[in-house]
Amino acid sequence: MAQLWGGRFTKETDKLVYNFNASISFDQKFYRQDIRGSIAHVTMLAASGILTDIERDQIIAGLNGILNDVENGSLQITSEYEDIHSFVEANLIDRIGDVGKKLHTGRSRNDQVALDMKLYVRDEIVELKKLIFKLMSTIHVLMKEHIDTYMPGFTHLQKAQPITLAHHLGAYMEMFKRDYDRMNDIYDRMNYCPLGSGALAGTTYPLDRELTASLLDFYGPTLNSMDSVADRDYCIELLSAMSTIMMHLSRFSEEIIIWNSNEYQFVELDDSYSTGSSIMPQKKNPDIAELVRGKTGRVYGALTSLLTTMKGIPLAYNKDMQEDKELTFDAIDTVKGCLALFTGMIATMTVNKPKMEASAKNGFTNATDAADYLVNHGVPFRDAHGIVGQLVLKCIDENISLDQLSLDEYKAICPVFEDDIYTAISMEECVQKRNTIGAPGHTAMQNVIDTNGNFLKWAEKDIINHNKE
C-alpha cells in the first residue's frame, strides 16, 4: 500500500479500511493537473532558495517522465496507490531517488488536492464553454434560416399567438447565453491558487505563493489558508450551473419530443439521432432527447449530494470532502455528453414549415389580432374580446379557422368588420407587425440575430484567450 503517511502508525491499515479510504479509482482523472501543480511547486521552491536548481531540474525531469509514460500507456495507475498524489510521488522517488522525497516540502495533501481539483474544474469549464458555444452557434444558424417560419406560440401547452421558429429558438439562445456567462462567473471567482496553504495553517517555509499562482495562471493566491483547503464552493457553483444547463436542455428536449410526435409533425429527427422498436417496425423514437431529459435528474442529484455533504463539515479539511470528486466528475461528463449530442440532434433535424404554419392558423392564434383589429376601429377591448370569442365558438362548431369565415359571418356578429380583417389576421401580418424589442417580427428578430452574432464573436475570442492560459 503506497501511502504518504504512516510514521506514527505501528499497524498496517486494514485492507477494507484502505480500500474505503482510497481515492485512486477516481482521482487518477486529474493526474495531469497533479503533475502540473507539482512542477509549479518545485519551480517556486527553487526560486525561493528552498531547493537547489539541480534538485528542481531532477524533480521536473522525473515528473515529466511520469507524465509521458502515463500518456503513452507504459506506466499504469493502479490500486496499489492510495491516491494520485501517492502514485506520482512514489514513482518519482523510484526514478530519481531521495531527491524525489523533497517534492512535498512546504505542501500538504490538503492544499495539493484543493489545487488539483481547482485546476481540473477550471479546465473542464473551458471545455463546457466550447460545447455551449457550439450549441449556440447551431441555434444561431437555425434562427437565421427560420426567421419567417411561422408557428404557434404556446402558454399552458395551448396555442396562444403566432410566432416564428426563430423567435422560439431565440428563447433558448438567451438561456444558453446566460449559461455561458455563468461559466465565466465561476471561472473568475474560483481562479485563485490554494497551494501553499498547507494542511490548514500555512507553512514556516518562505514560499512565494504569488509566483506559484502566476505559474499556474491563477489571478493570485487565496487569502485564508483554512478556507483554501475547506472550500468546495466552486464545485457547488459548477454543479448548480450545470443543473441549470440540463434544465434548459431538458425543456428543449421535451419540446422536440412533442414536435416530433405524430400529432404535431413539426420536426423530424434524423435517423442517426433516433432509434427503433424491437417489436413495432413503424416506430422512430426520439431517444436522445428523452435521455437528455432523463439525465437531468442525475446532475441535480450530484448537486444535492454535494450540498448535503458540505453542510455539516467544520473547518478545515475533512475526509467527507473526498466525495466532491466522483459527483463532480460524473456530472461534468454527463453534461458534456448531453450538450454534444443535443447539438448534433437539432443540427440534423428537418423542420416541417407547412405543418407549423397550418397549426398556427388552425389554433386560433390570430384571435388576439382580430380583437386588436376591432380596438383599432373604436370598439372597447373588453367588448372586442367577447366578440372574437363568439367568432371562435362559431369556428369550432364548423371546424374551420378564423380566416375561413366569410365577411357576412363576421358582420353578423359585429358590423365593424371589413375586408381588411383577412389581412389583419394573416399569419404574416400577425407576426410582422410585432417589432418591439424581443418580439417575433422580422425586423426585431434580425436585430436580435445580429446581437447574437456579436455575442458569438466575443465568445469565440473568449475561448481562444482561455486556451492560451
Output the pLDDT for position 71: 96
Q: How far is CA 359 from CA 7, 161, 259, 274, 399, in A?
A: 75, 11, 11, 24, 13
Among residues 35, 104, 61, 66, which one has the least CA distance to residue 53? Answer: 61
Report, as an integer, the average pLDDT of 279-292: 88
Output the pLDDT for position 275: 82
Output the pLDDT for position 278: 75
Report, as an integer, the average pLDDT of 120-140: 98
Query: Has residue 3 got a pLDDT over 60?
Result: no
Q: Which residues are catalytic?
A: 156, 277
Rounded-to-10 torsion of CA 346, 352, 357, 359: -90
Per-residue pLDDT tens over the stretch 23-40: 788 889 999 999 999 999
Q: Would you place residue 277 in the very low, low, confident or very high pLDDT band (cuts 50, 70, 90)?
A: confident
Q: Would you place residue 5 in the very low, low, confident or very high pLDDT band (cuts 50, 70, 90)?
A: very low
C-alpha cell belonging to residue 31: 493526474
- Mean pLDDT over each residue of the chain, to the nearest integer: 94
C-alpha cell belonging to residue 179: 449559461
Query: Has residue 453 got a pLDDT over 60?
Result: yes
Report, as an integer, the average pLDDT of 116-123: 97
DSSP string, 268-295: E--GGG-B--SS-TT--B-HHHHHHHHH
Output the pLDDT for position 358: 92
Question: CB–CB of 146/459 below 8 Å?
Answer: no
Among residues 194, 179, 193, 2, which one has the least CA distance to residue 92? Answer: 2
Listed range (125-129, 319-323, 350-354, 464-468) with the worst mean pLDDT: 464-468
Query: Has residue 10 got a pLDDT over 70?
Result: no
Among residues 427, 419, 364, which one has the least CA distance to residue 393? Answer: 364
| CA pair distance 83, 88, nearest whole angstrom | 9
Label residue 348 exposed, middle or buried (CB < 10 Å: 0-12, 13-18, 19+): middle
Per-residue pLDDT tens over the stretch 65-91: 999 999 999 999 998 899 999 999 999
Query: Has residue 9 got a pLDDT over 80?
Result: no
Among residues 9, 4, 1, 200, which one has the least CA distance to residue 104? Answer: 4
Report the percentage of the chain scoring pLDDT > 70. 95
Question: CB–CB of 459/180 below 8 Å?
Answer: yes
Per-residue pLDDT tens over the stretch 291-335: 999 999 999 999 999 999 999 999 999 999 999 999 999 999 999
pTM for the model: 0.92
HSE at residue 427, side-chain half, CA atoms within 13 A, is 23
Among residues 420, 408, 260, 325, which one has the least CA distance to residue 124? Answer: 325
Output the pLDDT for position 316: 94
Query: Has residue 283 got a pLDDT over 90?
Result: no
435-458 b/e (C-beta count within 10 Å ≥ 16 → b): eeeebbbbebbeebbeebeebbee
Q: Would you place residue 18 in the very low, low, confident or very high pLDDT band (cuts 50, 70, 90)?
A: low
Output the pLDDT for position 361: 86
Per-residue pLDDT tens over the stretch 229-267: 999 999 999 999 999 999 999 999 999 999 999 999 999
Per-residue pLDDT tens over the stretch 373-384: 999 999 999 999
Per DSSP, 153 falls in state E
The whole-angstrom distance between residue 117's C-alpha and the CA centroid of its chain comes to 18
The whole-angstrom distance between residue 177's C-alpha and the CA centroid of its chain comes to 10
Query: Has residue 125 got a pLDDT over 70?
Result: yes
| CA pair distance 78, 100, nearest whole angstrom | 20
Listed range (54-58, 137-141, 392-396) with the worst mean pLDDT: 392-396
Neighbours of 78 (CB within 10 A): 10
Output the pLDDT for position 89: 96
What is the three-class DSSP state of 164? strand
| CA pair distance 34, 120, nearest whole angstrom | 9
418-432 b/e (C-beta count within 10 Å ≥ 16 → b): eeebbebbbbebbbb
Identity (one letter) of the amino acid at 96?
A: I
| CA pair distance 160, 172, nearest whole angstrom | 19
Q: Which residue has the higher pLDDT, 362 or 93?
A: 93
Output the pLDDT for position 363: 82
